[in-house]
Amino acid sequence: MKDRIQEVRQNALSALEEARDEKAVADLAVRFLGRKGEVSALLREVSSLPVEVRPEAGQLANILKKELSSAFEAAEKRLAEAAAETAGTLDVTLPGRRLAQGRFHPLTQVCDEICRAFVRMGFSVVEGPEVEADYYNFEALNFPPEHPARDMQDTFFVSEKVVLRTHTSPLQVRTMEKTRPPVRVIAPGKVYRCDSDITHTPMFQQVEGLVVDEGIRFSDLKGVLAAFVHQIFAPDTPLRFRPSFFPFTEPSAEVDIGCVMCDGSGCRVCGHTGWLEILGSGMVHPAVFENVGYDPEKYTGFAFGLGVERIAMLKYGIDDIRRFYENDARFLGQF
Ligand code: FA5
């Protein structure tokens, strides 16, 4: 019996020495000290021994039980301390984690590019309110109250006389009220219309342009816009001026560029015409000059308003304007 006790002791201690984690120690504790474990089996055997050897064998088996209990306890403690220590250390061999890098929204990038093109031509930048008085958004721009021309822009009303501006043209009036000619400004900003499909969103961005001085002619408008188009798109991009109507310009023209998707041969994007509209423009209407106290006999000027999303869609070949506003980082990260 003494040899059996010695053998269990040896096996338990050498298995414990090899245990590398707390789970291995716990498994060994079950194997040796559990209810059906090897030490319990020894203790059961003791009771069946002849009475003269029973006390000594019982004593030895109980000493073994105590010894192994403390050995397992000590091993558990040692391994737990070692695990806690490693948890706090830095593994310098692990690969680094890449930080997601922020970037400007594609529309911000395109708007900046548009503004830089005009600033290089001597324009300065002005800004104005997005919640706008009916007077600046419509009336001073020669849209009389109740006039059907107001239907051209589906308006969000804040109250009877206050609207979310439907275009950046109010900045024409606000600028001329504050300054005397010569005027040469652009006004970038958000505008709002009750509109939503693959080429229209309820909030979009425009860049307005206004030039006023003595002797400004339609040919100046053509020269500035051609120079702009050739900076933003390819230098040989064709453009054309198509007669149009705006209450605050006369004559008025919309500017089309040769379709950048099909090089003018006709495709789905340009409705098989070979041309794409990018902006509205015209010579400032004398009624607008009168509203701001400029003498229409002395001064002439031109104005234009372009859609930033439209330019961005053409530049990058995007066929649905809503992509810009869905906040999908996989889409936005490409620009
Ligand atoms: C105007 O807003 C005039 N204020 C432009 C102007 C300025 C004319 C100065 C003359 C002188 P229009 O409604 O066509 O015009 O809009 C101009 C551009 O805004 C369009 O060519 C188009 O690119 C863009 N646009 C219009 N509605 C939307 C919309 N819902 N979503 C996105 N872009 C739009």
Sorted by where each begins, the domain ranges of the chain are 2-85, 106-332
Its pTM stands at 0.74
- Closest CA to ligand 1's atom 32: 200
Question: Which residues have CB under 6 Å of ligand 1?
Answer: 153, 167, 169, 193, 195, 200-201, 204, 206, 208, 246, 249, 252, 277, 279-282, 303-307, 309-310, 321
Provide the pLDDT for residue 301: 98
Count other C-beta atoms under 10 Å from residue 92's C-beta.
Answer: 5
| Locus of tokens 């051209």 | 152
Residues lower than pLDDT 70 in the chain:
none
Distance from residue 169's CA to the centre of ligand 1 (Å): 10
Helix, coil or strand: residue 61: helix
Provide the pLDDT for residue 198: 80
Helix axes 2-18, 54-87, angle to 10 degrees: 0
Provide the pLDDT for residue 182: 97
Provide the pLDDT for residue 141: 97
Provide the pLDDT for residue 332: 92
CA torsion sign, 58 to 62 to 65 to 67?
negative
Distance CA 164, CA 186 (A): 20
72 touches 80 (CB < 8 A): no
Distance CA 248, CA 169 (A): 9
Provide the pLDDT for residue 64: 86
Distance from residue 217's CA to the centre of ligand 1 (Å): 22
CA torsion sign, 312 to 258 to 269 to 204?
positive
Provide the pLDDT for residue 49: 85
Amino acid letter for position 111: C
Fold of 106-332: BirA Bifunctional Protein; domain 2 (3.30.930)
Distance from residue 305's CA to the centre of ligand 1 (Å): 6
Residues 287-326: pLDDT tens digits?
999 999 999 999 999 999 999 999 999 899 888 889 999 9
Provide the pLDDT for residue 176: 98
The total number of residues shown for the chain amounts to: 335
- Closest CA to ligand 1's atom 12: 280
